[in-house]
A and B are shown apart, each in its own frame.
Chain A
Amino acid sequence: MTDIRRGVFQIILDGIEDKTIQVNDDTPLISDGSVLDSMKLVELCLTLEDFAEEKGFEFDWTSDQAMSRSRSMFRTAGSLASEFINQMDAKK
């Protein structure tokens, strides 16, 4: 697992009240079984914005892809981390 992926997972974990939950690629962020409520999800986005700024790029969480239910970046912790890394690589 890359440092960035680990960093995204840690940020997700920080937003979960139940600290017994483990965050992995399959952890759902939206829909049934989501570990975050809508407020925590937005806070996660704001924190990821800051994390991206540290890494020298702008994290876009308002794109069409972000909101699509079938291919949303928020489906799982894994898909969010992958999109974060994709955006970082694209900006290089």
Chain B
Amino acid sequence: MIVVTGSSRGLGLAICERLHSLGVDVFGLSRDVSNSTFPSMSCDVSSYEDVKKVVLTLKKQDKKVSGLVNAAGIASMNLAVTTPPTVSQKIIETNLLGTIFCCQLIAPLMMRNKCGSIMNFSTIAVSLGLKGESVYSASKAGVEGFTRSFAREMADFNINVNCIAPGPIDTSLLKGITANQIQKIVSQQIIPKQFSPDAICDLVELLLDPRSNSLSGQVLHVGGA
């Protein structure tokens, strides 16, 4: 089974739908799972207790978890000096702590089987140091650092941990960003074109494939950065 966070929208939803369409046993986690078309459970990833409940459920179902995709994330375009503290806190709690909590609690399910693949999500905003995304970048830079260290800790258990860092992908996360702003970011990628969620789904499939098991602790920039 592959556990995917942020499964109700954006990249998380696209990944779930792709895996589900391929017949992969997928389990989505999201705060709102009312419209889910695949097995899901309500979970706020920034709540340690919520994630713990998910783990207990999976254990009770005796599910063999072989992958975790931490796609849950929020963004807020704002200058650091004008970002309200509650917004900064929410971004760090969801993007960074949410990723850490899911890794801490769900990885042991894979450690028992001594195999698995974990994918965390960063952003091109980290490598480009994008103006107006400092708090968001900080949360994702934390995810990158966590990924590299956690990959070493998991290597003993034959679990690969990598980070996918997309450029601007056409999802609801880009709401409020103008076409010009997107084009400006895209032009700074090595491949200067805007990719669709399909490119991310392809990469997820690749990282779930045992043929990618020489890759761990890497930040993979979609579009190149």
Contacts and interface: CB of A to CB of B under 8 A. Distances in A.
Interface stretch (A27-35, A38-46, A73-81, A82-90): A38-46
- For the residues of B in contact with A, the DSSP-based class is helix
Interface stretch (B26-34, B104-112, B200-208): B104-112
Number of contact residues on B: which range applies?
under 10
B96 to A, nearest CB: 18
A46 B156 contact: no
A69 B85 CA distance: 32
A58 B111 CA distance: 18
A39 B108 contact: no
Of A42, A45, A49, chain B has the most CB atoms within 10 Å of the CB of A42
Contacts of B108: 42, 45-46, 49
Nearest to B153: A38
A75 B144 CA distance: 31
B38 interface: no
Contact of A39 (B56, B105, B157): B157
Contacts of A49: 108
Contacts of A39: 156-157
Given A43-B111, A58-B56, 14 more contacts: A38-B153, A38-B156, A39-B156, A39-B157, A42-B108, A42-B111, A42-B157, A45-B108, A46-B108, A46-B111, A46-B112, A49-B108, A62-B104, A62-B105
